[in-house]
Amino acid sequence: MAYDKFTVLSSTAVPLPIENVDTDQIIPARFLKATKREGFGDNLFRDWRYNPDNSPKEDFVLNNPLYRGKILVGGRNFGSGSSREHAAWAVYDCGFRCVVSSFFADIFKNNCLNVGVLPVQVSDIFAEEIFKAIYDDASTELVIDLAAQSITISSTNSQESFDINNYKKQNMLNGFDDIDYLQNIKEDIRIFAENTPL
Amino acid sequence: MSKTLFDKVWDSHVVRRIKDGPDVFFIDRHLIHEVTSPVAFLGLKSRDLDVMYPNRTFATADHNTPTLNQHLPVEDPLSAIQLKALEDNSNEYGISHWGLGHRNNGIVHVVGPENGITLPGATIVCGDSHTSTHGAFGAIAFGIGTSEVEMVLSAQCIMQTKPKRMRINVNGTLSKGVSPKDVGLYIIAQLTTSGATGYFAEYAGDVFQNMSMEGRMTVCNLSIEMGARGGMIAPDEKTFDYIEGRTMTPKGADWDKAMKYWETLKTDEGAEFDKEFNFNAGDIEPMITYGTNPGMGIGISKSIPTAESVEGGKATYDKSLAYMGYAEKEPMIGKKIDYVFVGSCTNGRIEDFRAFASIVKGKKKADGVTVWLVPGSHVVEAEIKKEGILNILNEAGFVLRQPGCSACLAMNDDKVPAGKYSVSTSNRNFEGRQGPGSRTLLASPLVAAAAAVTGVVTDPRTLIQ
Ligand code: SF4
C-alpha cells in the first residue's frame, strides 16, 4: 500500500527508554485476529498501557498527557521478536511517523519502511541526549529531515545524521512502495522464474 | 573465488541489484498462514493484482487453531474469520491449502519439511519469523512482514539488502541430557538477542554434523532469537535421505539433476565470514531461561546472574526479573512450575516427544501442573501413536492434544494465566507471550519432562533412565 510522502517531520516526541522492546509488547498476539490493517493503534503496548480491567496504567508514558507527538523514541534493540507487521501498523495507527532508537531489530525496521514509518537509528550518546532533552522539557521538538538524513534536537540544536539506503529514501520521499517497483520489472522476474525450477 | 554457502544460494536468487539499494530477491517457495496473510490478499485486491505463481505458495492453518475438538466449528469468531479468509483466498487464487483437519495440516515450519516443500539451496519465506527453521536443509529461509507477503504473492520477489555473513562453529561432543535446544539457547545467551542482527548465520562443526535433521531444525529455528535474519546448515547425506521421496521433492531425472547442484552447497575452503564464533560442546549443559527474552538463559544448575554481569541497562534487567518474580543470585533448580508446554515449531517434532517420553516413562505427572503436549503436525501425531509413545504418555497421566502453534503464542485458548510459571519448549519468553501476565521458562523437552513429573525446575540428568 502506498503511503504519504515523508519529507521533514518536526514534532514533540514520546520517550520509552526500555531496551529490547519486543513486538509482543508493541502488539500482543491476541490482537492479531483482524483481517485489515487499521485499528491496531488502540492496542499499541496494550499490556504496559492498560490494566487487566482496561483502566489506563498511569505510570506508562502513553498515558501521560505531558508526552505527545509523532515520534517515538525507544531504547536499544527496539522491535525484536516476531515478524508481525501489525507492530508497525499499530505504531502508525497510533499517530507515529517515526521511531528513533540506537538499534533496531531487522524485520521490524523493514516493516516500518514498508508502511511509511521512518526508523531513525542514532548513536547511543545521541539517544541519551534526546531522552535528556525530552525529560528536561517535554515540549522539545525533534526535527527529522529525510532528504538531508539529519535529526536535530530543537532545544539544544544538537544534530546527528542517520543512514538509510538511497532506494528506500527515494521511496519514502515520494510515497512509493516496493510493490510499485516490482510491478514495473515483472518481465525480468518472469524470465528469471522460467529458469528457476520450482 | 571461494564462496560461503550463504553467498552461493543468495547470489543465485538475485534478479536485479539496485545501486545503493536492496536486491530484488527471488523466492522459490512461500508459506502462508491465517494471521499474516489476509491483509496481503486485501492489498492485492485493492491494487487489482493477481498471484503470479500460485504453485509456489502453500497455505496451512496453525496460529490460532484450537488443539482440542478440531472437528467442531472454531468457537472464537475472529479466529474463524481468519481461517475462512485463508481458505477463501487460497481457493480464489489456486493456492494449495491445508486447513484444519487436513491430513497435511500442522505448524507451517513443521509441515514444510515434512512435505518436501523445504529443499536445499532454495529460498523460502513466510510471514513468521521462525521461518529460519528451514535453513536446516541448506535453504535461505527467513520471516517477512505482510507487505512482503503481498510482494511475493504478486511478483514472487522481495526487496532485501543482503545480510552479512556469520559462522558459528560448535565442536566436540554434547554430554548426556544436552539437546539441540540447549545448543540454541546457549548460543543466544552468548551472543545476546541482538548479537547477530544484520547477519545470516551458518552453523558448522561436529555438533551440527552429528545432529539429526530435527535437531538442526531446532537450532536454525532459534536463529532469529539472536537477531539473525536466519541460519543455515550445509546439506549432507542426512539431509538428502530426509527429503527423498517426499511429496514436493523432485523425482527421477529431476532429482538427479538437483542432487548435482545440492552437492555443491557447502562453504568453500578459505571463504570469508564477517564474523565468526567458536564454542565447545563440552561447555553446554541443559539450559533454562529466567528472564523475559531468550538471551536470558543459563545452565540449569546455575543461579540467576546479577545485573552487572549481563548486557544492557540495570533498569531493564530489574523490570524483567520483577516480571518473573525472581531475584538475582537465586538458583533455578527447585523453582515451582504451574504449566508445561511441549510443542511449537522449535520442539514439536517426533524426536521431541521421544525425548519427553524417555523421562516420564514409568513416572506420574506431578499434581498441580497442567501439561499441554501439542504435536507440530498430524504426521507427528500419527508417529507418536505408531511408536507407542502415546501409551507411555497416557500411563504417566498426560493427554495428547491436536496440532497447532498453541501456547507458543497463545492466540487460541491455550493461555497460561497471569502470574503462573510455564516451562515451555517454544522459542519466546517475552512478557505475556503465553497469555497476559504469563511467565515463561524456555527449555528443552527433557527439561520440560523433568518439570512435568516433579512440579519444579529439575535437572533432567538426575532422571535420565
Ligand atoms: S509455533 Fe510459534 S514460532 Fe512457530 S510458527 Fe507457530 S507461532 Fe510462530
The DSSP H or E segment spanning A158 is strand A158-161
* b/e burial code for range B123-138 (CB count within 10 A of at least 16 → b): bbbbbbbbbbbbbbbb
User: Nearest chain B Cα to A186, which residue?
Assistant: B155
Test site for ligand 1: of B63, B131, B181, B218, most ligand atoms within 8 A of the Cβ: B63
Query: Is the residue at A3 inside a domain?
Result: no
In the block, which residue shows the cell 525450477? A197
For the sheet containing A71-74, what is the strand order?
Answer: A118-121, A98-101, A71-74, A8-16, A141-145, A150-153, A158-161
Tell me the C-alpha distance between A27 and A24, whole Å: 5
Tell whether B36 lies on the interface with A, counting CB pairs under 8 A.
yes
Is the pLDDT at A37 greater than 90, yes or no?
no
CA of B32 from ligand 1 middle (Å) equals 12
User: Nearest chain A Cα to B125, which residue?
Assistant: A83
Ligand 1 atom with the shortest distance to the CA of B62: 6
Report chain A's terminal Cα–Cα distance, integer Å: 28
Tell whether B255 lies on the interface with A, counting CB pairs under 8 A.
no
Tell me the C-alpha distance between A81 and A182, whole Å: 27
Q: How many residues does chain A have?
A: 198
Query: Is the residue at A1 inside a domain?
Result: no
Tell me the C-alpha distance between B223 and B319, whole Å: 25
Query: Is the residue at A115 inside a domain?
Result: yes
CA of B128 from ligand 1 middle (Å) equals 7
Q: Nearest 5°: CA angle at B190, between B268 and B375?
A: 85
Q: Name the B residues in 340-369 with CB < 8 Å from any A CB.
A: none
DSSP A196: S
Residue A2: per-residue pLDDT: 59
- Grid coordinates standing for B301? 544448575
Query: Is the residue at A119 inside a domain?
Result: yes
Instruction: Identify the bridge partners of residue B201 per DSSP, sorted by sequence position.
Output: B166, B231
Q: Name the B residues in 98-127 with CB < 8 Å from any A CB.
A: 127
Q: What is the DSSP string of B252-283?
A: HHHHHHHHHHHTT-SPPTT---SEEEEEEGGG
Between A and B, how many residue pairs show a Cβ–Cβ distance under 8 A? 201
Query: Is the residue at A83 inside a domain?
Result: yes
Report chain B's terminal Cα–Cα distance, integer Å: 51
**Domain span holding position A107:** 8-195
Interchain CB distance below 8 Å, B254 and A192: no
Test site for ligand 1: of B35, B36, B109, B181, most ligand atoms within 8 A of the Cβ: B109
* C-alpha closest to that of B114 among B101, B105, B122, B127: B105
Tell me the C-alpha distance between B304 and A31, whole Å: 33
In the block, which residue shows the cell 516443500? B117
Tell me the C-alpha distance between B145 and B33, whole Å: 12
Q: pLDDT tens across A138-188, in order?
A: 999 999 999 999 999 999 999 999 999 999 999 999 988 999 999 999 999
- Residue to substitute from B29, B124, B199, B316, interface A, most A β-carbons within 10 A: B316
Ligand 1 neighbourhood includes B130 CB (under 6 angstroms): yes
Tell whether B32 lies on the interface with A, counting CB pairs under 8 A.
no
Question: Residue B272: CA atoms inside 13 Å, Cβ hemisphere, count?
Answer: 2
Q: Do the Cβ atoms of A41 and A99 come closer than 8 Å?
A: no
Ligand 1 neighbourhood includes B427 CB (under 6 angstroms): yes
Residue B141: per-residue pLDDT: 98
Interchain CB distance below 8 Å, B42 and A35: yes
Ligand 1 atom with the shortest distance to the CA of B133: 4
Find the mean pLDDT for residues B304-312: 89
The distance from CA B293 to its chain's CA centroid, rounded to whole angstroms, is: 15
Interchain CB distance below 8 Å, B227 and A1: no
Tell me the C-alpha distance between B160 and A8, whole Å: 26
The distance from CA B201 to its chain's CA centroid, rounded to whole angstroms, is: 15
Burial class (CB within 10 angstroms; exposed 0-12, middle 13-18, buried 19+) of B17: exposed
Ligand 1 neighbourhood includes B344 CB (under 6 angstroms): yes
CATH at residue A74: 3.20.19.10
Kind of pairing, strands B14-17 and B164-171?
unpaired
Tell me the C-alpha distance between B135 and B325, whole Å: 36
The DSSP H or E segment spanning A120 is strand A118-121
Cβ atoms within 10 Å of B334's Cβ, excluding its own: 10
Query: Is the residue at A124 inside a domain?
Result: yes
User: Nearest chain A Cα to B53, which residue?
Assistant: A193
Query: Is the residue at A44 inside a domain?
Result: yes
Query: Is the residue at A2 inside a domain?
Result: no
Residue B171: per-residue pLDDT: 98
Give the dihedral sign, CA A47/B424/A107/A160: positive
Q: Do the Cβ atoms of B326 and B290 come closer than 8 Å?
A: yes
Tell whether A189 lies on the interface with B, counting CB pairs under 8 A.
yes
Ligand 1 neighbourhood includes B108 CB (under 6 angstroms): yes
Tell me the C-alpha distance between B188 and A5, whole Å: 39
Is the pLDDT at B306 greater than 70, yes or no?
yes
Q: pLDDT tens across B237-283, in order?
A: 999 999 999 999 999 999 999 999 999 999 999 999 999 999 999 99
Tell me the C-alpha distance between B423 and B371, whole Å: 10
- Measure the CA dihedral B338/B339/B340/B343, to 10°: -170
* C-alpha closest to that of B443 among B216, B181, B140: B181
Find the mean pLDDT for residues B69-84: 94
CA of B113 from ligand 1 middle (Å) equals 15
Residue A197: per-residue pLDDT: 80
Q: How confident is the model at residue A4 (pLDDT cuts 50, 70, 90)?
A: confident
- Grid coordinates standing for B275? 564474523
Is the pLDDT at A198 greater than 90, yes or no?
no
Q: Alpha carbon of B296 to those of A185, B41, B293, B311: distances in Å? A: 45, 38, 6, 10
The H-assigned helical ranges of B94-145 are 108-114
For residue B120, which amino acid is it?
P
How near does any CA of chain A get to the CA of B1, in Å?
A: 24
Ligand 1 neighbourhood includes B33 CB (under 6 angstroms): no
* C-alpha closest to that of B265 among B8, B2, B1: B8
Threshold 0.90, pTM exceeds: yes
In the block, which residue shows the cell 526487496? B159
How near does any CA of chain B get to the CA of A198, in Å?
A: 6
- Measure the CA dihedral A161/A162/A163/A169, to 10°: -100
How near does any CA of chain B get to the CA of A78, in Å?
A: 10
The DSSP H or E segment spanning B389 is helix B389-395
Quote the ipTM score: 0.91
In the block, which residue shows the cell 564462496? B3
How near does any CA of chain B get to the CA of A153, in Å?
A: 24
Average pLDDT, chain A: 94
Tell me the C-alpha distance between A97 and A111, whole Å: 13
Tell me the C-alpha distance between B389 and B152, whole Å: 40
In the block, which residue shows the cell 528506500? A168
Please count the structural domains in chain A: 1
Q: pLDDT tens across B95-106, in order?
A: 999 999 999 999
Ligand 1 neighbourhood includes B221 CB (under 6 angstroms): no
Residue B253: per-residue pLDDT: 96
Ligand 1 neighbourhood includes B410 CB (under 6 angstroms): no
Ligand 1 neighbourhood includes B428 CB (under 6 angstroms): no
Interchain CB distance below 8 Å, A1 and B43: yes
Residue B311: per-residue pLDDT: 76
The DSSP H or E segment spanning A115 is helix A106-115
Q: Alpha carbon of A194 to those of B18, B262, B407: distances in Å? A: 22, 20, 41
Residue A137: per-residue pLDDT: 97
Q: pLDDT tens across B149-208, in order?
A: 999 999 999 999 999 999 999 999 999 999 999 999 999 999 999 999 999 999 999 999
Find the mean pLDDT for residues B295-322: 93
Tell whether B47 lies on the interface with A, counting CB pairs under 8 A.
yes
Is the pLDDT at B211 greater than 60, yes or no?
yes
Average pLDDT, chain B: 97
Residue B313: per-residue pLDDT: 83
